[in-house]
Structure formats: structure tokens, C-alpha cells
């Protein structure tokens, strides 16, 4: 019996030592991410299921926001590229300003989460236009309902493209042909289940783009009674679409999604493969952001960049004096798969506010740093996150 106890003791000691050694090895070895299993493309059914399943009820915003009003993206993009990990996922909000970042960063998949269902419909209009158009000049003809000008080759600059289109008026016959083609592609080819209200919204968005052409900006709108063009909220804080697409960075390079055929083709390919997915969701809501995060975690993917525009302004100070929902937002962000390379892209102005006169300046900050500050109780107002950002 004594011999058996001695054998058991020595065996137990060896086992304990082995466990300690393995534990030390596990602590020393870096923890690798799960294998990336993001799809190379989505079927129409899978795409639409994500749109429907991840979306929340549509909400309201202070403007229709057809186009960005944010100069400065062109100078931020090189700094983002220095942090970006190839193969990451992109998240964003709003209309075409996302395209600038997506075309430069080249994510494997992109999710656009916006409180307005109209924004989702606008992205579907863009999706159809990309799929219908083999090049930039044809794309602008579809989006703005102008006949393609002669002499625009693949080597045309964005400035040359827009100079040509700015000289043209809407072509009513082409507009109706484009409208029908867009609806047929979405309804008949893709078989997306758009409601009558959705189709009416699509008509509205299409009509605004056709009316303004390349001069469309953040404040553009149509009078609901007369159908005439008018300016809404935005004041001096606006910039024409044509100007936004033609901005050079400090080195003289144009970084818009329409800067080159290569940038355009990346966007077209992403849209054709159903990998740019618009979702209806409130940043302070319970579902959309978390659903996107769960999808990316399930596929072993990391959020490389999350474009917020100045939405945090409305989370900390809701219009009309509503209840703050900033805490809900950062708690949801805390469920996203991120690492030290993951970046917020946000917009503010030089006096520390998210909006107002003086324009919006794109800037970036580490998502992990913001989450750590939030958990430590150091995020109490919008200025706290703006002060953590660089442009």
C-alpha cells in the first residue's frame, strides 16, 4: 500500500508540473484571431436576409442628408491606411462619404448602419447604378440622369468628369429609362422585397439626384408641393458633390471613389458581390450594431474602421432634448470584434463641437482606446472623444 501511495504521489506531481508548464506556454503564446471565413460574395437571398434581420425600425434625422458635407477625408485616408489591416471589415453611416474610405481601404465586407430607411434605399439606388455601369462616366449618367458627354475616357480625372457633367441639364427621357432600369434590377433581377413605401422613397431620392445633378449637396431637397429645388437645413456647411469628388490631398492625389477606374471598379465589384450591406439602425438601438458585430465574430473578422460622421453629437445631445443614448452606443461598440488597429472615423470642428458653422473635419481615434476610456468612466461628453482624435 505504501508503494502504491508513493507511485500515485509521484504521478500526481508530474501531472501538476505538466499542467503548470502548459499554462505558462499558453500565457506566452499570442492569442490568434479565429480564422477569417467571410464570404467572397453573398447570394441575393443571403444579402436581403441580412438587411431584413439586422435592421431596426426606421427613425428620423434632422435632414435628408443626400450627400456628404465633409471636406478633409482626402488628407485623413493616408493616415488610416497606415493603421488598416488588410482583410478587415468596414462599418459606416450615411451616404457616399463611405465610398471614399471603402475604395481606399478595400475591406472584405462593408456594413452601412443608418437610422433612416431612406439611406438604405439610397444605397440600393447606388448599388443598381454600379451594377448597370461599366465605368465612371456611365455611372454618373445613371445617377444624375444626364446623357454621357463625348470624349470621357478611362483616364479622365474626376475634375474632367464633373466639369463635363456640370454643363448638362437633366434628360427627362433618360431619367425615366434609368428609373425603370433601377427598379427592374432591384425587384426583378435581385428580387429584393421592397414595399410600396420603399419604392416611393426610391422615386424621391432618384428625383432629387436627377434635379440637382452634380451640384447636389447636404442641404438639397425638393419642395413636396411644387417639386421645385430648394435648400433645407445646413446653411453654409455644404459642399457640392462635384467638388467633394475632385478634392486633392496634400500631395495632390485625389482619393475619391471616382478618382480612377480602379477605385470605381473596386466599388462596383463589392456591390455586385452583395458585400456592401445597408442596414437600418439607431447607433443607440438594441439590435443593428450588435447583429453586425455577431456576424463578423461568427466569421472571425475584425472591424478595421467604423465611420461615425458626427452622429456622436446626437447621442450625447439628442435633438429636442431627448434622453442621451451615448452609453448604449459605446456598450454596443464593446461587443464588436476589434483590435489595436481598429479605428473610429468621426467628424467635428475646431471649436470642439460636432456640428455648427465652420464645417466638419474628419478625424480618427483608436476604438480600443475609446472603449477603455468609456469603461473607466472618462467618456461623459462629446468633447471627451473629440479630444482623443487626430486629423
- Binned average pLDDT, 10 residues per bin, the chain of 391 residues: 46 47 37 75 98 95 89 96 97 97 98 98 98 98 98 97 98 98 98 98 97 94 78 67 96 97 98 98 97 98 98 92 93 98 89 51 97 98 96 91
Is pTM, for the whole model, over 0.85? yes
| Residue at 16 is within a domain | no
DSSP lists the bridge partners of residue 109 as 89
| Residue at 38 is within a domain | no
What backbone phi and psi angles, to 5 degrees, belong to 69?
A: -125, 30
Q: What whole-number distance in Å separates Cα of residue 139 and Cα of residue 130?
A: 6
DSSP lists the bridge partners of residue 307 as 345
| Residue at 35 is within a domain | no
C-beta of residue 61 within 8 angstroms of C-beta of residue 315: no
| Residue at 6 is within a domain | no
- Structural domain containing residue 227: 44-386
| Residue at 13 is within a domain | no
| Residue at 74 is within a domain | yes
Nine-digit cell string for 25: 506556454
Per-residue buried b or exposed e for 50-89, using 16+ beta carbons within 10 Å of the residue's own CB = bbeebbbebeebeebbbbbbbebbbbbbeebeebbeeebb
| Residue at 51 is within a domain | yes
| Residue at 19 is within a domain | no
From the list 283, 233, 239, 200, the residue with the least C-alpha distance to 97 is: 239
DSSP lists the bridge partners of residue 135 as none
C-beta of residue 130 within 8 angstroms of C-beta of residue 185: no
Q: What whole-number distance in Å separates Cα of residue 55 and Cα of residue 337?
A: 19
Q: State residue 222's pLDDT score.
A: 86
Number of folded domains that form the chain: 1
Q: What is the DSSP letter of 390?
A: B
Amino acid at each position: 500500500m505504501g508503494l502504491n501511495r508513493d507511485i500515485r504521489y509521484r504521478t500526481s506531481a508530474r501531472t501538476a508540473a505538466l499542467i503548470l508548464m502548459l499554462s505558462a506556454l499558453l500565457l506566452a503564446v499570442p492569442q490568434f484571431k479565429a480564422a477569417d471565413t467571410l464570404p467572397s460574395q453573398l447570394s441575393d437571398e443571403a444579402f436581403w436576409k441580412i438587411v431584413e434581420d439586422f435592421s431596426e425600425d426606421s427613425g428620423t434625422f434632422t435632414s435628408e442628408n443626400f450627400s456628404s458635407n465633409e471636406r478633409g477625408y482626402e488628407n485623413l485616408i493616408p493616415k488610416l491606411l497606415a493603421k488598416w489591416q488588410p482583410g478587415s471589415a468596414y462599418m459606416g453611416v450615411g451616404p457616399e462619404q463611405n465610398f471614399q474610405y471603402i475604395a481606399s481601404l478595400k475591406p472584405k465586407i462593408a456594413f452601412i448602419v443608418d437610422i433612416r430607411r431612406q439611406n438604405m434605399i439610397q444605397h440600393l439606388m447606388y448599388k443598381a447604378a454600379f451594377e448597370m455601369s461599366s465605368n465612371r462616366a456611365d455611372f454618373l449618367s445613371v445617377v444624375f440622369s444626364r446623357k454621357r458627354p463625348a470624349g470621357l475616357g478611362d483616364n479622365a480625372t474626376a475634375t474632367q468628369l464633373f466639369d463635363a457633367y456640370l454643363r448638362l441639364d437633366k434628360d427627362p427621357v433618360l431619367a425615366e429609362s434609368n428609373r425603370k432600369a433601377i427598379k427592374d434590377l432591384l425587384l426583378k433581377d435581385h428580387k429584393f422585397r421592397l414595399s410600396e413605401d420603399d419604392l416611393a422613397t426610391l422615386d424621391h431620392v432618384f428625383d432629387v439626384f436627377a434635379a440637382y445633378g452634380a451640384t447636389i449637396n447636404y442641404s438639397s431637397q425638393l419642395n413636396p408641393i411644387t417639386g421645385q429645388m430648394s435648400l433645407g437645413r445646413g446653411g453654409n456647411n455644404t459642399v457640392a458633390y462635384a467638388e467633394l469628388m475632385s478634392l486633392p490631398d496634400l500631395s495632390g492625389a485625389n482619393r475619391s471613389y471616382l478618382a480612377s477606374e480602379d477605385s470605381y471598379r473596386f466599388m462596383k465589384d463589392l456591390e455586385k458581390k452583395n458585400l456592401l450591406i445597408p442596414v437600418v439602425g439607431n447607433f443607440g438601438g438594441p439590435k443593428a450594431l450588435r447583429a453586425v458585430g455577431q456576424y463578423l465574430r461568427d466569421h472571425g473578422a475584425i472591424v478595421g474602421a467604423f465611420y461615425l460622421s458626427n452622429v456622436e453629437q446626437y447621442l450625447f445631445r439628442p435633438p429636442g432634448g431627448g434622453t442621451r443614448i451615448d452609453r448604449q452606443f459605446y456598450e454596443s461598440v464593446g461587443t464588436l470584434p476589434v483590435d489595436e488597429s481598429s479605428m473610429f472615423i468621426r467628424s467635428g470642428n475646431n471649436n470642439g463641437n460636432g456640428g455648427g458653422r465652420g464645417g466638419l473635419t474628419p478625424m480618427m481615434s483608436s476604438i480600443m482606446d475609446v472603449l477603455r476610456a468609456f469603461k473607466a468612466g472618462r467618456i461623459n461628453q462629446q468633447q471627451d472623444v473629440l479630444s482623443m482624435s487626430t486629423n
